[in-house]
């Protein structure tokens, strides 16, 4: 039997291999993690006009997000309150209402039941429409990035992001205009557990030079030296890794924002013009981050690469499969040509069939499926790299690791993962607010 309370050992920095395979673990994740966290839905640029809508997933729940007639964002479950059929099968569009395909019940863009065929003749005018609205979901937006949460007792989105919001502002605010996503998202299915890509994006600087050796060799440029972990690279001071209260984290390679873009004249020009403005707006520490390349995960299942500018959600579909949705991040104030360049390079490198994306895919699938072996599955995985070489930093919030190549943010992700798996409520989680970082004992490292 799996002990749900002992999946992660924060002292030894190990995780049970059951986290990638076990059905019971997965069922608990859906309730405790996906049922209580803020999950990424869409960007407001895809919901500009009244009546605009998109459909997406929150874990395995199908949801609709709309711009209602009063201008506010609404989210509700995509399941009819009559016999449960989905009421919208389009990915996106603009509408006055949603009409169920089965018997024709009609719902407004805030989920209210507004019309029912044969309401007078066959329901004898006795149907209580007010109690038959679609199930609503909390929806909040941060710098235009829209998230939903099933849990009424969860903190606000801003509090859930916490210090991570301070980092996100680096490019979500930037020089002032901020960023948006280019959609609709590319979609594909990958046979892996949802945490394999999440942990990879949150803190795996280590794999870059190895898994992506060939791609980096061909791309050349500033990151070319990473290919095969060549000795002359300053691996111990390439950048930093950060973890925050609710498991969100990232790794940054200094001065490498544009490094993955093969054709990068417009992007280079944009950076040159914009970095001083970011410094003025947000200060030097974040101006430095603005010029770095980031790999990141927002807990639990939203990852992105800033610099490469791919933005992803890993929708779980059972313990051994995910649906990958990928958008491209663009700075709003970049030239149209610059934006086209960014989109092209992001799709070529980390789109569904991207060169670097396909390097990762095989590892993601193997890391999951090898653990179907009953004997293999006993035992743990190791994330000890850089343990002790991390702590509170004078310029950067959270716990900061000493190099881009370390596992500080892995440890932070799984620390919060275990906290959520074990906690009965958000009150239990809030009770740890003062002590969450105690498992990083060398807090005076910097």
Active site residues: 103, 204, 207, 212, 360
Structure tokens at 372: 């179907």
Comparison of 86 and 211: residue with beta carbon closer to Fe ion: 211
Which residues 6+ apart lie within 8 Å of 353 measured at CB?
A: none
**What residues between 337 and 376 interact with Fe ion by CB under 5 A?**
360
- Which parts of 195-254 interact with ligand UNU (CB under 6 A)? 201, 208, 212
**Cα(312)–Cα(361) distance, rounded to whole angstroms?**
14
C-alpha pair distances (Å), 349 with each of 25, 192, 363: 33, 20, 17
Backbone angles phi, psi at 197, to 5 degrees: -70, -35
- 293 interacts with, out of ligand UNU, Fe ion, none, CB within 5 to 8 A per kind: ligand UNU
Identify which of residues 354 and 401 has a Cβ nearer to Fe ion in the complex.
354
Q: Least distance from C-beta 363 to Fe ion, angstroms?
A: 8
User: Among residues 22 and 360, whose Cβ is nearest to Fe ion?
Assistant: 360
Closest residue by beta carbon to Fe ion: 360
Build a one-symbol-per-residue string for 162-201: x at contacts with ligand UNU by CB under 6 A, - elsewhere. Answer: ---------------------------------------x
> Secondary structure of the chain: what % helix, strand, coil (to 5)?
35, 25, 40
DSSP 351-371: STT-HHHHHHHHHHHHHHHGG
Give min distance, CB of 253 to ligand UNU, in A. 6
Min separation Cβ 208 and Fe ion, Å: 6
State the helix-helix crossing angle for 195-203 and 408-422, rounded to 10 degrees: 140
148 vs 292, beta carbon nearer ligand UNU? 292
Q: Considering only residues 97 through 136, tell me which ones interact with ligand UNU, judged by CB under 6 A.
A: none
Is residue 351 within 8 Å of 184, Cβ to Cβ?
A: no
Task: Give me the least distance between CB of 207 and Fe ion, in Å please.
Answer: 6
Q: How far is the CB of 70 from ligand UNU (least distance, A)?
A: 41
Of the candidates 297, 305, 319, the residue with the CA atom closest to the CA atom of residue 59: 319
Residue number with CB closer to Fe ion (16 or 308): 308
CA–chain centroid gap for 71, Å, is 26
Q: How far apart are CA 269 and CA 272, in angstroms?
A: 5
Judged by CB under 6 A, the number of residues near ligand UNU is 8
CB atoms inside a 10 Å sphere around CB 141? 15
> Regarding beta strands 249-253 and 106-108, do their DSSP bridges make them parallel or antiparallel, or are they unpaired?
unpaired
Beta carbon nearer to Fe ion, 52 or 360: 360
Cβ at position 86, least distance to ligand UNU in Å: 34
Residues of this chain, 324-363, that bind ligand UNU according to CB under 6 A = 356
Beginning with the edge strand found earlier in the chain, give each strand of the sheet holding 113-115 in spatial order.
97-99, 106-108, 113-115
Picking from 259, 257, 248, the residue whose alpha carbon sits closest to that of residue 296 is 248
Partner interacting with residue 295 (select from Fe ion, ligand UNU, none; CB below 5-8 Å by kind): ligand UNU
Q: Output the smallest distance, CB 9 to Fe ion, in A.
A: 26
- Per CB under 6 A, does 295 bind ligand UNU? yes
**Residue 316 in contact with residue 34, Cβ under 8 Å?**
yes
The CA distances from residue 387 to 203, 382, 409, 433, 442, in Å, are 13, 11, 11, 22, 9
Question: At closest approach, how far in Å is the CB of 356 from ligand UNU?
Answer: 6
Q: Is 63 in the site for ligand UNU (CB under 6 A)?
A: no
| Of positions 43, 286, 293, 315, contacts ligand UNU by CB under 6 A | 293
- Residue that has been written with the tokens 């949705």 in this structure: 325
Nearest CB to ligand UNU, comparing residues 192 and 208: 208
Closest CB to Fe ion among residues 360, 390: 360
Residue nearest to ligand UNU (CB): 295
411 forms part of the interface with ligand UNU (CB under 6 A): no
Pairing verdict, β 390-391 and 380-382: unpaired
Rounded to 5°, angle at Cα 168 from 162 and 173 = 120
Neighbouring residues of 77: CB distance < 8 A, sequence distance ≥ 6: 61, 62, 63, 64, 134, 135, 136, 137
29 binds, among ligand UNU, Fe ion, none (CB under 5 to 8 A by kind): none
Q: Which residues of the shown chain bind Fe ion in the complex (CB under 5 A)?
A: 360
Q: Which residues of the shown chain bind ligand UNU in the complex (CB under 6 A)?
A: 201, 208, 212, 260, 293, 295, 305, 356
């Amino acid at each position: 039997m799996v002990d749900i309370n002992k999946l992660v050992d924060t002292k030894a920095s190990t995780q049970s291999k059951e986290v990638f395979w076990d059905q019971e673990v997965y069922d608990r994740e859906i309730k405790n993690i996906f049922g209580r966290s803020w999950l990424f839905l869409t960007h407001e640029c895809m919901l500009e006009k009244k009546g605009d809508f998109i459909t997406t997933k929150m874990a395995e729940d199908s949801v609709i997000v709309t711009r209602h007639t009063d201008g506010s964002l609404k989210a509700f479950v995509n399941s009819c309150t009559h016999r449960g059929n989905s009421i919208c099968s389009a990915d996106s569009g603009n509408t006055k209402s949603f009409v169920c395909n089965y018997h024709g019940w009609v719902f407004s863009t805030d989920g209210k039941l507004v019309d029912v065929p044969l309401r007078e003749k066959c329901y004898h005018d006795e149907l209580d429409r007010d109690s038959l609205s679609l199930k609503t979901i909390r929806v909040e937006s941060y710098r235009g990035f829209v998230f939903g949460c099933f849990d009424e007792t969860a903190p606000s989105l801003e509090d859930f992001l916490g210090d991570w919001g301070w980092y996100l502002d680096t490019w979500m605010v930037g020089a002032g205009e901020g960023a948006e996503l280019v959609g609709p998202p590319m979609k594909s299915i990958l046979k892996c557990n949802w945490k394999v890509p999440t942990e990879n994006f949150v803190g795996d600087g280590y794999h870059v030079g190895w898994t992506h050796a060939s791609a980096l060799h061909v791309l050349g440029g500033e990151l070319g030296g990473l290919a095969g972990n060549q000795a002359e690279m300053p691996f111990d001071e390439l950048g930093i890794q950060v973890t925050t209260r609710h498991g969100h984290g990232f790794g940054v390679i200094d001065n490498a924002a544009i490094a993955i873009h093969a054709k990068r004249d417009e992007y280079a020009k944009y950076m040159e013009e914009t970095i001083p403005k970011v410094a003025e707006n947000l200060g030097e520490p974040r101006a430095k981050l603005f010029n770095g390349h980031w790999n990141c995960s927002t807990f639990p299942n939203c990852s992105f690469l800033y610099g490469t500018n791919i933005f992803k959600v890993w929708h779980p579909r059972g313990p051994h499969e995910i649906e990958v949705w990928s958008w491209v991040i663009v700075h709003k104030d970049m030239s149209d040509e610059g934006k086209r360049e960014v989109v092209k390079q992001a799709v070529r490198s980390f789109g569904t069939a991207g060169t670097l994306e396909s390097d990762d895919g095989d590892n993601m699938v193997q890391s999951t499926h090898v653990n179907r072996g009953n004997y293999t599955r006993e035992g743990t995985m190791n994330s000890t790299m850089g343990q002790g070489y991390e702590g509170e930093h004078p310029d950067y919030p959270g716990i900061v690791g000493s190099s881009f190549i370390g596992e500080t943010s892995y440890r932070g992700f799984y620390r919060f993962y275990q906290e959520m798996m074990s906690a009965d409520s958000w009150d239990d989680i809030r009770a740890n607010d003062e002590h969450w970082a105690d498992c990083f004992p060398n807090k005076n490292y910097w």
